Amino acid sequence: MKALDLYSLTLHEIRDKIRSGEICSKEVLDSVYNRIENLDDKIGAYLTLAKDKAYEAAESVDKRIAEGEKLGDLAGIPMAIKDNISTNGIRTTCASKMLENYVPPFDAHVCEKLKAAGAILIGKTNLDEFAMGSSTENSALKTTRNPWDLERVPGGSSGGSAAAVAADEAFFSLGSDTGGSIRQPASLCGVVGFKPTYGAVSRYGLVAYGSSFDQIGPFTKDVEDCAIVLNHLYGHDERDSTSLAVEHGDFTEALNKDIKGMKIGLPKEYFEEGIDPDVKKIVLDGVKILEGLGAHVEEISLPYSKYALPVYYIAASAEASSNLARFDGVRYGYRAKEYDSLEEMYINSRSEGFGDEVKLRIMLGTYTLSSGYYDAYYNKALKVRRLIKQEFEKAFEKYDIIISPTSPTTAFKIGERTDDQLAMYMSDICTVPVNIAGIPAISLPCGFSKGLPVGMQIMSKALGEASIIKAAHAFERNTDFSKKKPTL
Protein backbone atom coordinates (compact mmCIF):
# COMPACT_ATOMS: atom_id res chain seq x y z
CA MET A 1 0.00 0.00 0.00
CA LYS A 2 1.20 3.52 -0.83
CA ALA A 3 1.96 5.64 2.23
CA LEU A 4 -0.51 8.28 1.04
CA ASP A 5 -3.35 5.70 0.96
CA LEU A 6 -3.06 4.85 4.65
CA TYR A 7 -6.13 7.01 5.37
CA SER A 8 -8.38 4.27 3.95
CA LEU A 9 -7.52 1.73 6.67
CA THR A 10 -9.42 1.14 9.90
CA LEU A 11 -8.14 2.23 13.29
CA HIS A 12 -7.12 -1.29 14.29
CA GLU A 13 -5.32 -1.87 10.98
CA ILE A 14 -3.31 1.34 11.39
CA ARG A 15 -2.62 0.47 15.05
CA ASP A 16 -1.11 -2.88 14.01
CA LYS A 17 1.08 -1.26 11.36
CA ILE A 18 2.39 1.35 13.82
CA ARG A 19 3.05 -1.29 16.48
CA SER A 20 4.96 -3.51 14.03
CA GLY A 21 7.16 -0.62 12.95
CA GLU A 22 5.92 -0.90 9.35
CA ILE A 23 4.91 2.77 9.41
CA CYS A 24 5.35 5.72 11.75
CA SER A 25 2.75 8.09 13.14
CA LYS A 26 3.99 10.99 11.01
CA GLU A 27 3.34 8.99 7.82
CA VAL A 28 -0.22 8.33 8.93
CA LEU A 29 -0.72 12.01 9.71
CA ASP A 30 0.69 13.01 6.32
CA SER A 31 -1.77 10.65 4.64
CA VAL A 32 -4.81 12.04 6.47
CA TYR A 33 -3.88 15.71 6.04
CA ASN A 34 -3.24 15.09 2.35
CA ARG A 35 -6.71 13.52 2.12
CA ILE A 36 -8.26 16.55 3.87
CA GLU A 37 -6.40 18.97 1.60
CA ASN A 38 -7.63 17.18 -1.53
CA LEU A 39 -11.20 16.56 -0.39
CA ASP A 40 -12.52 18.82 2.34
CA ASP A 41 -13.27 21.75 0.06
CA LYS A 42 -16.05 19.50 -1.29
CA ILE A 43 -17.12 17.88 2.02
CA GLY A 44 -16.71 20.74 4.50
CA ALA A 45 -16.28 18.48 7.53
CA TYR A 46 -13.71 20.64 9.35
CA LEU A 47 -13.95 24.09 10.88
CA THR A 48 -10.42 24.21 12.30
CA LEU A 49 -7.28 22.17 11.65
CA ALA A 50 -4.57 21.79 14.31
CA LYS A 51 -1.57 20.83 12.17
CA ASP A 52 1.25 22.22 14.33
CA LYS A 53 0.02 20.54 17.51
CA ALA A 54 -0.76 17.32 15.60
CA TYR A 55 2.75 16.98 14.17
CA GLU A 56 4.28 17.72 17.58
CA ALA A 57 2.17 14.89 19.04
CA ALA A 58 3.11 12.52 16.20
CA GLU A 59 6.80 13.26 16.72
CA SER A 60 6.41 12.46 20.42
CA VAL A 61 4.67 9.14 19.68
CA ASP A 62 7.31 8.10 17.15
CA LYS A 63 10.08 8.98 19.58
CA ARG A 64 8.50 6.92 22.37
CA ILE A 65 8.11 3.93 20.04
CA ALA A 66 11.74 4.26 18.89
CA GLU A 67 12.80 4.17 22.54
CA GLY A 68 11.01 0.84 22.96
CA GLU A 69 8.03 2.09 24.94
CA LYS A 70 4.88 -0.03 24.58
CA LEU A 71 1.97 2.21 23.72
CA GLY A 72 -1.78 1.64 23.75
CA ASP A 73 -4.37 1.07 21.02
CA LEU A 74 -4.76 4.74 20.10
CA ALA A 75 -1.09 5.80 20.02
CA GLY A 76 -0.42 7.78 16.85
CA ILE A 77 -4.01 7.53 15.57
CA PRO A 78 -5.41 10.77 14.01
CA MET A 79 -8.83 11.77 15.37
CA ALA A 80 -11.33 14.61 14.91
CA ILE A 81 -13.49 16.21 17.58
CA LYS A 82 -16.86 17.94 17.28
CA ASP A 83 -16.49 21.67 17.77
CA ASN A 84 -18.64 21.86 20.90
CA ILE A 85 -16.06 19.90 22.94
CA SER A 86 -13.38 22.02 24.59
CA THR A 87 -9.82 21.70 23.31
CA ASN A 88 -7.04 23.56 25.09
CA GLY A 89 -5.55 26.23 22.84
CA ILE A 90 -7.66 25.22 19.82
CA ARG A 91 -10.68 27.26 18.73
CA THR A 92 -14.03 25.84 19.89
CA THR A 93 -16.90 27.62 18.15
CA CYS A 94 -20.03 25.49 18.51
CA ALA A 95 -20.47 26.58 14.84
CA SER A 96 -21.91 29.82 16.17
CA LYS A 97 -21.14 33.48 15.68
CA MET A 98 -21.51 33.69 19.48
CA LEU A 99 -18.28 31.69 20.02
CA GLU A 100 -16.58 32.18 16.66
CA ASN A 101 -13.26 33.27 18.21
CA TYR A 102 -13.38 31.39 21.53
CA VAL A 103 -10.21 29.48 22.44
CA PRO A 104 -10.65 27.36 25.60
CA PRO A 105 -7.91 27.32 28.25
CA PHE A 106 -8.64 23.66 29.10
CA ASP A 107 -9.35 20.25 27.60
CA ALA A 108 -12.60 18.33 28.03
CA HIS A 109 -12.25 15.13 30.05
CA VAL A 110 -12.55 12.99 26.92
CA CYS A 111 -9.76 14.97 25.25
CA GLU A 112 -7.52 14.45 28.28
CA LYS A 113 -8.15 10.71 28.15
CA LEU A 114 -7.60 10.36 24.40
CA LYS A 115 -4.43 12.45 24.44
CA ALA A 116 -3.10 10.39 27.36
CA ALA A 117 -3.72 7.31 25.19
CA GLY A 118 -1.62 8.85 22.41
CA ALA A 119 -4.42 9.76 19.99
CA ILE A 120 -3.64 12.80 17.83
CA LEU A 121 -6.18 15.59 17.40
CA ILE A 122 -6.11 16.77 13.77
CA GLY A 123 -9.04 19.20 13.81
CA LYS A 124 -12.48 20.30 14.96
CA THR A 125 -15.57 19.36 12.97
CA ASN A 126 -18.68 21.24 11.88
CA LEU A 127 -22.09 20.88 13.57
CA ASP A 128 -25.50 22.42 13.84
CA GLU A 129 -25.09 25.54 15.97
CA PHE A 130 -24.85 24.57 19.66
CA ALA A 131 -25.75 21.01 18.55
CA MET A 132 -29.32 22.04 17.69
CA GLY A 133 -30.40 20.38 14.46
CA SER A 134 -30.57 17.22 12.40
CA SER A 135 -28.76 18.20 9.20
CA THR A 136 -25.75 20.45 10.05
CA GLU A 137 -27.49 23.13 7.98
CA ASN A 138 -27.81 25.30 11.11
CA SER A 139 -24.05 25.91 11.29
CA ALA A 140 -23.28 29.63 11.18
CA LEU A 141 -19.85 28.96 9.66
CA LYS A 142 -20.16 26.56 6.69
CA THR A 143 -22.16 23.79 5.01
CA THR A 144 -21.11 20.15 5.39
CA ARG A 145 -22.06 17.70 2.63
CA ASN A 146 -22.70 13.97 2.70
CA PRO A 147 -19.76 12.02 1.16
CA TRP A 148 -22.23 9.59 -0.49
CA ASP A 149 -23.99 12.42 -2.33
CA LEU A 150 -22.68 15.98 -2.15
CA GLU A 151 -26.18 17.38 -2.74
CA ARG A 152 -27.41 15.77 0.49
CA VAL A 153 -27.01 16.49 4.20
CA PRO A 154 -24.71 14.42 6.43
CA GLY A 155 -27.25 14.45 9.26
CA GLY A 156 -26.84 16.30 12.52
CA SER A 157 -26.00 17.75 14.77
CA SER A 158 -22.64 15.92 14.56
CA GLY A 159 -22.62 15.98 10.75
CA GLY A 160 -19.00 17.09 10.41
CA SER A 161 -17.72 14.27 12.63
CA ALA A 162 -19.72 11.65 10.69
CA ALA A 163 -18.68 13.02 7.29
CA ALA A 164 -15.00 13.13 8.30
CA VAL A 165 -14.98 9.40 9.13
CA ALA A 166 -17.10 8.43 6.11
CA ALA A 167 -14.74 10.31 3.78
CA ASP A 168 -11.59 8.81 5.39
CA GLU A 169 -10.59 12.25 6.71
CA ALA A 170 -10.11 10.80 10.22
CA PHE A 171 -9.79 7.29 11.65
CA PHE A 172 -12.35 8.11 14.31
CA SER A 173 -14.11 11.16 15.66
CA LEU A 174 -16.14 12.31 18.63
CA GLY A 175 -19.62 13.74 18.56
CA SER A 176 -22.28 14.60 21.11
CA ASP A 177 -25.72 13.01 21.19
CA THR A 178 -28.65 14.85 22.79
CA GLY A 179 -31.50 13.30 20.80
CA GLY A 180 -29.71 11.22 18.18
CA SER A 181 -26.93 13.56 17.08
CA ILE A 182 -24.36 10.75 16.81
CA ARG A 183 -26.56 7.90 15.59
CA GLN A 184 -28.60 9.76 12.96
CA PRO A 185 -25.59 11.21 11.06
CA ALA A 186 -23.82 7.84 11.43
CA SER A 187 -26.81 6.28 9.66
CA LEU A 188 -26.92 8.88 6.90
CA CYS A 189 -23.14 8.71 6.31
CA GLY A 190 -22.78 4.91 6.51
CA VAL A 191 -20.48 4.70 9.54
CA VAL A 192 -20.71 3.32 13.08
CA GLY A 193 -21.93 5.76 15.75
CA PHE A 194 -22.28 4.96 19.46
CA LYS A 195 -24.28 6.78 22.14
CA PRO A 196 -23.11 5.57 25.60
CA THR A 197 -25.18 5.10 28.75
CA TYR A 198 -25.94 8.51 30.26
CA GLY A 199 -23.20 9.33 32.77
CA ALA A 200 -20.76 6.65 31.57
CA VAL A 201 -18.66 9.25 29.70
CA SER A 202 -17.89 12.56 31.38
CA ARG A 203 -19.56 15.69 29.98
CA TYR A 204 -16.89 17.94 31.50
CA GLY A 205 -15.81 20.29 28.72
CA LEU A 206 -18.85 19.66 26.52
CA VAL A 207 -20.72 22.91 25.85
CA ALA A 208 -24.11 22.09 27.31
CA TYR A 209 -27.33 21.96 25.29
CA GLY A 210 -29.65 19.65 27.26
CA SER A 211 -27.67 18.54 30.29
CA SER A 212 -29.87 15.58 31.22
CA PHE A 213 -29.73 14.26 27.64
CA ASP A 214 -26.23 15.13 26.34
CA GLN A 215 -23.68 12.35 25.92
CA ILE A 216 -20.32 12.24 24.12
CA GLY A 217 -19.57 9.22 21.93
CA PRO A 218 -17.52 8.05 18.92
CA PHE A 219 -17.87 7.66 15.17
CA THR A 220 -15.75 4.83 13.75
CA LYS A 221 -15.28 2.86 10.53
CA ASP A 222 -16.34 -0.44 12.09
CA VAL A 223 -17.53 -2.02 15.33
CA GLU A 224 -14.08 -3.22 16.45
CA ASP A 225 -12.79 0.36 16.22
CA CYS A 226 -15.82 1.49 18.22
CA ALA A 227 -15.06 -0.97 21.05
CA ILE A 228 -11.43 0.20 21.14
CA VAL A 229 -12.36 3.90 21.40
CA LEU A 230 -15.07 3.28 24.02
CA ASN A 231 -12.42 1.70 26.27
CA HIS A 232 -10.68 5.08 26.39
CA LEU A 233 -13.78 7.24 26.90
CA TYR A 234 -15.51 5.54 29.83
CA GLY A 235 -14.64 6.26 33.44
CA HIS A 236 -15.64 8.35 36.44
CA ASP A 237 -14.87 12.06 36.53
CA GLU A 238 -15.48 13.98 39.74
CA ARG A 239 -15.81 17.25 37.78
CA ASP A 240 -19.08 15.96 36.28
CA SER A 241 -21.80 15.56 38.91
CA THR A 242 -23.69 13.08 36.70
CA SER A 243 -20.63 10.88 36.04
CA LEU A 244 -21.22 7.25 37.05
CA ALA A 245 -18.77 5.73 39.52
CA VAL A 246 -18.88 2.26 38.00
CA GLU A 247 -16.23 -0.04 36.57
CA HIS A 248 -16.44 -1.17 32.98
CA GLY A 249 -14.80 -4.16 31.37
CA ASP A 250 -12.78 -4.31 28.18
CA PHE A 251 -15.34 -3.74 25.41
CA THR A 252 -13.19 -5.60 22.89
CA GLU A 253 -13.96 -8.79 24.83
CA ALA A 254 -17.51 -8.58 23.42
CA LEU A 255 -16.15 -8.97 19.87
CA ASN A 256 -16.23 -12.24 17.91
CA LYS A 257 -18.90 -13.78 20.15
CA ASP A 258 -21.69 -16.22 19.34
CA ILE A 259 -25.16 -14.64 19.63
CA LYS A 260 -27.08 -17.90 19.70
CA GLY A 261 -29.98 -17.55 22.15
CA MET A 262 -29.76 -13.76 22.33
CA LYS A 263 -33.26 -12.27 22.75
CA ILE A 264 -34.13 -9.40 20.41
CA GLY A 265 -37.22 -7.19 20.67
CA LEU A 266 -38.63 -5.41 17.62
CA PRO A 267 -40.86 -2.52 18.75
CA LYS A 268 -43.72 -2.24 16.26
CA GLU A 269 -44.06 1.50 16.89
CA TYR A 270 -40.61 2.06 15.32
CA PHE A 271 -41.61 0.40 12.04
CA GLU A 272 -44.94 2.12 11.44
CA GLU A 273 -46.03 5.37 9.77
CA GLY A 274 -43.21 7.76 8.92
CA ILE A 275 -40.62 5.06 8.23
CA ASP A 276 -39.57 4.84 4.57
CA PRO A 277 -40.63 1.40 3.23
CA ASP A 278 -37.12 0.75 1.84
CA VAL A 279 -35.54 1.57 5.19
CA LYS A 280 -38.02 -0.70 7.01
CA LYS A 281 -37.32 -3.63 4.66
CA ILE A 282 -33.53 -3.22 4.85
CA VAL A 283 -33.53 -3.11 8.67
CA LEU A 284 -35.84 -6.14 8.90
CA ASP A 285 -33.59 -8.00 6.45
CA GLY A 286 -30.72 -7.19 8.79
CA VAL A 287 -32.67 -8.62 11.73
CA LYS A 288 -33.15 -11.83 9.74
CA ILE A 289 -29.37 -12.15 9.49
CA LEU A 290 -29.12 -12.02 13.30
CA GLU A 291 -32.00 -14.50 13.54
CA GLY A 292 -30.08 -16.80 11.19
CA LEU A 293 -27.14 -16.63 13.60
CA GLY A 294 -29.31 -18.06 16.37
CA ALA A 295 -30.88 -14.99 17.95
CA HIS A 296 -34.52 -15.20 19.05
CA VAL A 297 -36.64 -12.33 17.65
CA GLU A 298 -40.08 -11.18 18.84
CA GLU A 299 -42.26 -8.19 18.05
CA ILE A 300 -42.88 -6.02 21.11
CA SER A 301 -44.77 -2.82 21.87
CA LEU A 302 -43.38 0.38 23.40
CA PRO A 303 -46.53 2.54 23.23
CA TYR A 304 -45.16 5.52 25.18
CA SER A 305 -42.49 6.02 22.49
CA LYS A 306 -45.04 7.95 20.42
CA TYR A 307 -44.75 10.74 22.99
CA ALA A 308 -40.94 10.81 22.89
CA LEU A 309 -40.57 13.61 20.36
CA PRO A 310 -42.75 16.20 22.17
CA VAL A 311 -41.24 15.18 25.53
CA TYR A 312 -37.76 15.68 24.12
CA TYR A 313 -38.39 19.07 22.53
CA ILE A 314 -40.10 20.42 25.64
CA ALA A 315 -37.53 19.15 28.16
CA ALA A 316 -34.38 19.68 26.07
CA SER A 317 -35.44 23.18 25.01
CA ALA A 318 -36.13 24.06 28.65
CA GLU A 319 -32.62 22.97 29.57
CA ALA A 320 -31.18 24.83 26.56
CA SER A 321 -32.84 28.09 27.59
CA SER A 322 -31.14 27.79 30.97
CA ASN A 323 -27.75 26.61 29.68
CA LEU A 324 -27.48 29.29 27.00
CA ALA A 325 -28.37 32.13 29.36
CA ARG A 326 -24.63 32.44 30.12
CA PHE A 327 -23.97 33.76 26.61
CA ASP A 328 -24.88 37.37 27.33
CA GLY A 329 -22.08 39.42 25.74
CA VAL A 330 -20.44 40.15 29.11
CA ARG A 331 -18.01 37.43 30.15
CA TYR A 332 -17.10 35.76 26.86
CA GLY A 333 -18.47 35.24 23.40
CA TYR A 334 -19.88 37.71 20.92
CA ARG A 335 -20.73 41.26 22.02
CA ALA A 336 -22.78 43.61 19.83
CA LYS A 337 -20.97 46.67 18.56
CA GLU A 338 -23.88 49.06 19.03
CA TYR A 339 -26.03 49.51 22.15
CA ASP A 340 -27.11 52.34 24.45
CA SER A 341 -27.77 50.44 27.68
CA LEU A 342 -26.87 47.22 29.46
CA GLU A 343 -30.23 45.70 28.58
CA GLU A 344 -29.77 46.64 24.93
CA MET A 345 -26.30 45.09 24.95
CA TYR A 346 -27.78 41.79 26.17
CA ILE A 347 -30.56 41.89 23.57
CA ASN A 348 -28.36 42.90 20.63
CA SER A 349 -25.56 40.48 21.51
CA ARG A 350 -27.91 37.49 21.75
CA SER A 351 -29.98 38.56 18.71
CA GLU A 352 -26.89 38.91 16.53
CA GLY A 353 -24.87 36.06 18.05
CA PHE A 354 -27.44 33.24 17.92
CA GLY A 355 -28.96 31.69 14.78
CA ASP A 356 -32.67 31.14 14.16
CA GLU A 357 -32.87 27.52 15.40
CA VAL A 358 -31.08 28.35 18.66
CA LYS A 359 -33.37 31.34 19.25
CA LEU A 360 -36.41 29.16 18.54
CA ARG A 361 -35.40 26.57 21.14
CA ILE A 362 -34.48 29.20 23.73
CA MET A 363 -37.89 30.82 23.32
CA LEU A 364 -39.70 27.48 23.44
CA GLY A 365 -37.77 26.49 26.57
CA THR A 366 -38.36 29.81 28.29
CA TYR A 367 -42.08 29.59 27.51
CA THR A 368 -42.48 26.06 28.90
CA LEU A 369 -40.65 27.05 32.11
CA SER A 370 -42.63 30.24 32.63
CA SER A 371 -45.23 30.75 35.34
CA GLY A 372 -48.56 29.26 34.29
CA TYR A 373 -47.06 26.89 31.73
CA TYR A 374 -44.54 24.95 33.82
CA ASP A 375 -47.13 22.42 35.06
CA ALA A 376 -48.97 22.23 31.75
CA TYR A 377 -45.88 21.47 29.67
CA TYR A 378 -42.53 20.95 31.41
CA ASN A 379 -43.75 19.08 34.47
CA LYS A 380 -46.02 16.87 32.35
CA ALA A 381 -43.12 16.13 29.96
CA LEU A 382 -41.00 14.95 32.90
CA LYS A 383 -43.76 12.59 34.03
CA VAL A 384 -44.05 11.05 30.56
CA ARG A 385 -40.25 10.84 30.39
CA ARG A 386 -40.38 8.63 33.48
CA LEU A 387 -43.01 6.40 31.82
CA ILE A 388 -40.84 5.99 28.70
CA LYS A 389 -37.84 5.09 30.86
CA GLN A 390 -39.85 2.54 32.85
CA GLU A 391 -41.21 1.04 29.61
CA PHE A 392 -37.65 0.38 28.40
CA GLU A 393 -36.61 -1.04 31.77
CA LYS A 394 -39.51 -3.49 31.67
CA ALA A 395 -38.67 -4.54 28.09
CA PHE A 396 -35.05 -5.21 29.01
CA GLU A 397 -36.14 -7.58 31.76
CA LYS A 398 -37.00 -9.96 28.91
CA TYR A 399 -34.84 -8.88 25.95
CA ASP A 400 -31.08 -8.43 25.63
CA ILE A 401 -31.34 -5.85 22.90
CA ILE A 402 -34.00 -3.89 20.99
CA ILE A 403 -33.59 -3.11 17.29
CA SER A 404 -35.11 -0.36 15.15
CA PRO A 405 -34.19 1.83 12.18
CA THR A 406 -31.84 4.64 13.21
CA SER A 407 -33.34 7.23 10.87
CA PRO A 408 -36.77 7.02 9.23
CA THR A 409 -35.23 7.96 5.85
CA THR A 410 -31.89 8.06 4.09
CA ALA A 411 -30.04 11.37 3.68
CA PHE A 412 -32.30 14.12 2.33
CA LYS A 413 -31.22 16.93 0.02
CA ILE A 414 -29.67 20.12 1.34
CA GLY A 415 -32.44 22.70 1.77
CA GLU A 416 -35.23 20.12 1.43
CA ARG A 417 -36.49 20.45 5.01
CA THR A 418 -35.29 23.88 6.07
CA ASP A 419 -38.80 25.33 5.73
CA ASP A 420 -40.55 22.30 7.26
CA GLN A 421 -39.75 22.28 10.96
CA LEU A 422 -41.85 19.20 11.73
CA ALA A 423 -40.24 17.11 8.96
CA MET A 424 -36.80 18.10 10.27
CA TYR A 425 -37.71 17.18 13.87
CA MET A 426 -39.16 13.85 12.68
CA SER A 427 -35.61 12.90 11.58
CA ASP A 428 -34.98 12.01 15.24
CA ILE A 429 -38.16 10.02 15.87
CA CYS A 430 -36.30 6.71 16.33
CA THR A 431 -33.39 8.09 18.35
CA VAL A 432 -34.80 10.47 20.98
CA PRO A 433 -36.35 7.71 23.17
CA VAL A 434 -32.83 6.42 23.87
CA ASN A 435 -31.73 9.78 25.30
CA ILE A 436 -34.95 10.13 27.28
CA ALA A 437 -34.28 6.73 28.89
CA GLY A 438 -30.51 7.28 29.29
CA ILE A 439 -29.68 3.93 27.69
CA PRO A 440 -26.85 3.07 25.24
CA ALA A 441 -27.36 2.53 21.50
CA ILE A 442 -25.38 2.06 18.32
CA SER A 443 -26.09 2.79 14.68
CA LEU A 444 -24.30 0.61 12.14
CA PRO A 445 -24.66 0.28 8.37
CA CYS A 446 -27.13 -2.45 7.38
CA GLY A 447 -27.76 -1.81 3.69
CA PHE A 448 -28.37 0.76 0.96
CA SER A 449 -31.45 2.37 -0.56
CA LYS A 450 -30.92 3.95 -3.99
CA GLY A 451 -27.20 4.11 -3.29
CA LEU A 452 -27.56 5.80 0.12
CA PRO A 453 -26.66 4.09 3.43
CA VAL A 454 -29.27 2.85 5.90
CA GLY A 455 -28.50 2.44 9.61
CA MET A 456 -29.72 -0.17 12.08
CA GLN A 457 -30.10 0.98 15.70
CA ILE A 458 -29.34 -1.53 18.46
CA MET A 459 -30.32 -0.54 22.01
CA SER A 460 -29.75 -2.19 25.38
CA LYS A 461 -30.31 -1.53 29.07
CA ALA A 462 -28.24 1.02 30.99
CA LEU A 463 -24.60 -0.15 31.00
CA GLY A 464 -25.54 -2.92 28.57
CA GLU A 465 -22.90 -1.82 26.05
CA ALA A 466 -21.34 -5.29 25.81
CA SER A 467 -24.60 -6.78 24.49
CA ILE A 468 -24.79 -4.09 21.81
CA ILE A 469 -21.20 -4.61 20.69
CA LYS A 470 -21.65 -8.38 20.68
CA ALA A 471 -24.71 -8.22 18.39
CA ALA A 472 -23.35 -5.41 16.19
CA HIS A 473 -20.05 -7.19 15.59
CA ALA A 474 -21.83 -10.47 14.80
CA PHE A 475 -23.90 -8.65 12.19
CA GLU A 476 -20.84 -6.90 10.77
CA ARG A 477 -18.85 -10.13 10.50
CA ASN A 478 -21.61 -11.65 8.40
CA THR A 479 -22.15 -8.68 6.05
CA ASP A 480 -19.93 -6.28 4.13
CA PHE A 481 -21.86 -3.01 4.52
CA SER A 482 -19.24 -1.39 6.78
CA LYS A 483 -16.57 -2.04 4.14
CA LYS A 484 -18.36 -0.07 1.42
CA LYS A 485 -17.04 3.44 0.76
CA PRO A 486 -18.43 6.49 -1.03
CA THR A 487 -16.88 7.31 -4.41
CA LEU A 488 -15.13 10.65 -4.03
* 172-176 and 78-82 strand pairing: parallel
Contact call for residues 158 and 182 (beta carbons, < 8 A):
yes
**DSSP 8-state class, residue 111:** H
**Which residues touch 164 (CB under 8 Å, ≥6 apart)?**
43, 45, 46, 80, 125, 170, 173, 219
* Amino acid letter, 286: G
Q: Are 92 and 44 in contact (CB under 8 A)?
A: no
Catalytic-residue membership of 82: yes
Q: How many residues does the chain have?
A: 488
Tell which residue, 359, 94, 358, 344, has the closest CA to residue 336: 344
Report, in angstroms and rounded to the nearest whole number, the Rg of the chain calculated over CA atoms. Answer: 21
| Cα–Cα distance measured from residue 99 to residue 338, given in angstroms and rounded to the nearest whole number | 18
Establish whether 157 is a catalytic residue: yes
455 φ/ψ sector (left φ>0, alpha ψ -120 to 50, else beta):
beta
Nearest 5°: the CA angle 460, 466, 467 is: 45
Instruction: With beta carbons less than 8 A apart as the criterion, state whether 162 and 193 touch.
Output: yes
DSSP per position, 232-261? HH-S--TTSTT--------GGGGTT---TT
In the set 139, 157, 161, 243, the catalytic residue is 157
Measured at the alpha carbon of residue 141, what is the angle toward residues 137 and 142, in degrees to the nearest 5? 55
**Cβ contacts of 282-286, under 8 Å, gap ≥ 24:** 282/446, 282/447, 282/448, 282/449, 282/454, 283/403, 283/404, 283/405, 283/446, 283/447, 283/454, 283/456, 285/446, 285/447, 286/403, 286/446, 286/447, 286/456, 286/475, 286/479
Instruction: Check if 97 is active-site.
Output: no
Catalytic residue among 82, 113, 221, 470: 82
Picking from 147, 212, 137, the residue whose alpha carbon sits closest to that of residue 424 is 137
Strand, coil or helix: what is 398? coil
Catalytic residue among 25, 181, 321, 460: 181
Name the residues annotated as catalytic.
82, 157, 181
